[in-house]
């Protein structure tokens, strides 16, 4: 069981840190999943994975941005 400090900090138990390979500097996020909250490791990498390949064999980034924002002169 972990306890929140006066500064709202939370210590992740040693077993959990080892299993998830959490080290100082690891980026984490807390996300709501239904009626629970979960720890998300390296949220930027998760976002990259989710979007990877979306525009494969499609438009370039500039073409896509021009399409959604309109051509910028």
pTM to 2 decimal places: 0.50
What is the per-residue pLDDT across 6-43, written as a single tens digit (0 to 9) for each?
A: 999 999 999 999 998 888 888 888 989 999 999 888 76
Rg of the chain in Å (alpha carbons): 19
Question: Is residue 61's pLDDT more than 70?
Answer: yes
pLDDT at 37: 94
Take residue 46 and report the two structure tokens written for it.
Answer: 């998760």
**At CA 11, angle to CA 39 and CA 5, rounded to 5?**
115
pLDDT band at 57 (very low <50, low <70, confident <90, very high): low
Pairwise CA distance, residues 52 & 33, whole Å: 23
Question: Is residue 53's pLDDT more than 90?
Answer: no
pLDDT band at 73 (very low <50, low <70, confident <90, very high): low
């Amino acid at each position: 069981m972990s306890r929140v400090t006066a500064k709202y900090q939370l210590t992740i138990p040693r077993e959990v840190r080892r299993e998830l390979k959490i080290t100082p500097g690891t980026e984490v996020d807390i996300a709501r999943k239904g009626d629970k909250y979960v720890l998300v490791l390296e949220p930027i990498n998760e976002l990259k994975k989710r979007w990877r390949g979306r525009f494969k064999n499609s438009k370039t980034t500039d073409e896509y941005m021009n399409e959604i924002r309109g051509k910028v002169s």
